[in-house]
Amino acid sequence: MSTRILAVMMVMATLPACGGGQVVADGTGATTSALSPQLSHGRDVWFNSTFGGEKFFSLILPNAPFNLKLGFGAMLTSNRDTRFNDWGVINDPDCVQGDATTGYLDKCKDPASAGVIGVRKSVVVTPAGPQVLVGVACAACHAGLDPSNPAADPNHPTWDNIHATVGNQYLNIGKIFGANMSTHDPRYQVFHTWAPGTVDTTAIESDGINNPGIITQFFNLPDRPYFDDTQNGIEIAPEGVHRGGQGGEDDAGCEKAALRVYFNIGMCAAECMIPHLTNGPGGSQTPIDDAECSAACPDYVAAKAAVVDECAFMASTTSPKLAQAPGGNQLIDQSAVGRGKRVFQSACASCHQNSNSPAHDVLSDDLVHPMGDIGTNSCRARSTNWTAGHIWDQFSSDQYKARPTGGPGYYRDVPLLGVWATAPFFHNNRLGTFNGDPSVAGRVAAYEDAMDKLLNPWNRDLLGSIQTTTDWIQVPSPLGTLTLPAGTPVAAFANLNPNNPLQNLCPDYLENQGHYFGATLSRDDKYALTEYLKTK
């Protein structure tokens, strides 16, 4: 046994289970003492709770049938001075660089922190001896550097520089997934297509389509439109529910959506999730069952109780404002804002306005439209996991399943609050140049470039947006193993129907097509619209 591994075991032998720490701030300026007990607990769940997901990432995923060892080790033992630049993760402000005594994991005030926001560590005793487990909480993806209060060095933020729900536009999950793979592995090439700030939530619970989507931002939730959705004919909530998911899939309320996410990050994997991946006819999916899982997995029961407070905390956060950011007002041409507002009303408000809440508009009606009406890359909209009989059946509404397609094939009008801080655009975070710069000026530059390409589609590099392999790979086929050269479109092999390899479930290769609304505006109107949205 190496000295490094032994040191890790010695340090971690007495660590508590995941979820035990308490963060001090969430980037919105609030401290634990300033929040109500419900919101304080909800924030603690958001930042710290994994509900056993670490067992999936550390004990199950690296072994058969998945054989997928993630790059947590390399990321968590990397240099804190460059960790954000290299991986896009947010360093826990309460930690310092590790050394040989910690197995090169960070030293943290919270012993369950792995050194990165939302990444948690614990230890279990296995037949081979103590083993360090790593899991993730919601904040690992959805917390990010605060656009309105940026850190002087993004590798060394304070808690005041972290916004709990802005979404991490810079997180390179694809790099973490593919860190231990050969470039000749087809899976490496699939993960390589995941742009920073995206993740394919159906990569493990596979629907046969490579469909990475943006890490969702959560702002001003009480102002979002409500919908009277039902499950099995029963009203979900008296006040209605919000629509989540890029196609409105998570439309059964915040609590249900949060539980679905916890399954995504490994909760009760052995008891509740893995058996349903292949136990249907012909090895097909079957739905995760609430009653069955409640009886089999105490972590699920705990999560169902905890997400009530977590959703209350999510509803307390607000969008970042450019005018409140250092130097932000100087980046807005106030002389154009009035005209931009009028342009928005005439050209954008039919989809991106909540007419039921004009005083607190989130700039979306949250309605869904057939993917053909939007015209963007369709793969994310084709996900089938929420449909009847599939794994997340019990996490979508009757209204979702009543769509003419049974659910898939739609995109939702996303809210535009904070859009100045969250470019590039589109569901796959690829419209516009990714500059990796979380400063105020860097975010505005990315936003202006994305708006230019949104409103002037002739400036988009359509052919260049096709995601292709960087090396040769070998893939199985009815004719035997095929060797595909570098430059092969990833969608040509990543989206093949496992039950019918001659069928491509999403033969849509162009990433930056569609959403041509606003292209016919005048140059001055486009400029004014761009300036107006900076104020939202």
Given a contact cutoff of 8 angstroms between Cβ atoms, the answer to whether 166 and 185 are in contact is no
What pLDDT sits at residue 93?
A: 98
Which of 28, 30, 51, 52 lies closest to 40 in space, CA to CA? Answer: 30
pLDDT at 18: 31
pLDDT of residue 502: 86
Q: What is the pLDDT of residue 499?
A: 83
Residue 265 three-state SS: coil
pTM for the structure as a whole: 0.92
The model's pLDDT over 119-162, given as tens digits with 9 standing for 90+, comes to 999 988 878 888 899 999 999 999 999 999 999 999 999 999 99
Q: Which residues of the chain have pLDDT under 70?
A: 1-33, 357-358
CA nearest neighbour of 390 among 194, 209, 188 = 209
Identify whether the C-beta of residue 265 lies closer than 8 Å to the C-beta of residue 53: yes
| Lookup result for tokens 């792995």 | 114
Give pLDDT, residue 33.
Answer: 57
pLDDT of residue 376: 97
* Residue-level pLDDT at 32: 54
Provide the pLDDT for residue 378: 97
CA triple 448-454-459, angle to 5 deg: 90
